[in-house]
Structure 1
Amino acid sequence: MIAASFSLFFASFLSATLLPGASELLLIALLTQSPEAAGILVAVAAAGNTAGSAVNYALGYWIGRPVAERLPFILTKKRLEQAEGWFGRYGRWSLLFSWLPIVGDPLTAIAGVLKTGFGPFLVLVALGKTARYMAVAAGVQAVALW
């Protein structure tokens, strides 16, 4: 279980950075093998994903938008603009949606670019990421019961 947890943390971490990943698939596979470990697996996935988002925040904070725009393999200009739109409309509360595909990871980088306080950033992102993994776990449990 320790090796599987480490793999899940690493996959979740990478999925939250600006690189693509599929940590939900690994979580589903692990949940089907060890449904009794759902709480631990959800916590590990959420922690890894939140840590990866903190890397995005740090990149945004330290390198800023001008550098981010020159690294299209990390963050496309379109995704950056979408994330800015969300952040402009909903403020830091938009970080609750950092779990969303396409716009979620850029949102965490924009939070850094805009120098959002790290404490609120961490709380909001962790809540959003944890809710996503809890929903995945609940879905796996519902299918298993069906």
Structure 2
Amino acid sequence: MLVGYLGLFVAAFGAATLLPLQSEAVLVGLLLSGQYSLWWLLGIATLGNVLGSLVNWLLGRWVDHFKARRWFPVSARQLDKARGHYARWGHWTLLLSWVPIIGDPLTLVAGVMREPLWRFLLMVSIAKTARYGLVAYLTGPWT
């Protein structure tokens, strides 16, 4: 059983970084097996996903050091556009950090914009808990 929990943590952590991974399928599989605690699965998935988002935040804090390099994957214009959106909507955008495709870059931009760590962790934890809670609810026997 430890392997299942560890696998979910790794999948959730990886899915929250800029890597194209999915953790919901792992969560659903473990839930459907009936061998794991719902609350442990939700806690581990959320913890892994929040810590993966923290990696993005940390990368964002250092992105300015590399933006002038030729290999840097984001143009100055794209970075300024992202900063503009974040400046307009602020930390509330982190409630969308659960959304596929846009959520992970939002956590990176939060680091670029120097979002305070405490508020970043609070907003991302709310979003990620809601995400996995919804997946668990839709997977459960009550649907």
For the aligned pair, the TM-score class normalised by the smaller chain equals 0.7 to 0.9
8 A Cα contact 2:30 2:36, kept in partner: no
Q: Which residue of 2 aligns with 1:43?
A: 43
The more displaced of 84-93 and 47-56 is 84-93
1:119 is aligned to 118
Partner of 2:90: 91
Cα distance in 2 for partners of 1:20, 1:49 equals 13
* Partner SS state of residue 116, structure 1: coil
Equivalent residues of 2:15, 2:52 under 8 A apart: yes
TM-score normalised per structure 1: 0.85
Root-mean-square deviation over aligned CA pairs? 2.5
Counterpart residue identity of residue 62, structure 2: W
Aligned partners of 2:83 and 2:113 also within 8 Å: no
Report the Cα distance in structure 2 between the residues aligned to 1:71 and 1:119, rounded to whole angstroms: 29
- Structure 2 distance, partners of 1:71, 1:111, is 18
- Equivalents in 2 of 1:5, 1:54: separation in Å? 20
Q: When the two structures are superposed, what TM-score results if normalisation uses the length of structure 2?
A: 0.86
Question: 1:91–1:32: structure 2 CA closer, same or farther, 3 Å change rule?
Answer: same
Do 2:94 and 2:123's aligned partners in 1 also have CA atoms closer than 8 Å?
yes
**1:66 maps to which residue?**
67
Unaligned runs of 5+ in 2: none
Shift of 1:145: 3.5
For residues 70 and 41 of structure 2, the distance between their equivalents in structure 1, rounded to whole angstroms, comes to 35
CA distance in 2, matches of 1:82, 1:27: 35
- Is 1:79–1:106's contact at 8 Å kept on the other side of the alignment? no
Q: How does 1:17-28 map to 2 (within 5 A)?
A: 17-28=17-28
Residues 1:100 and 2:66 are matched in the alignment: no
| Superposition pairs of residues 134-145 of structure 1, within 5 angstroms | 134-141=133-140, 144-145=141-142
Q: 1:67 to 1:114 in 2, by over 3 A?
A: farther
AA at the equivalent of 2:67: P
Contact 1:84 1:107 in 2 (8 A): no
Matched residue, 1:109:
108
Number of the residue aligned with 2:7:
7
Matches within 5 A, 1:67-82: 70-72=71-73
For these two proteins, the number of residue pairs brought into alignment is: 141
Determine helix, strand or coil for the equivalent of 1:66. Answer: coil
Bigger proportion of residues as helix: 1
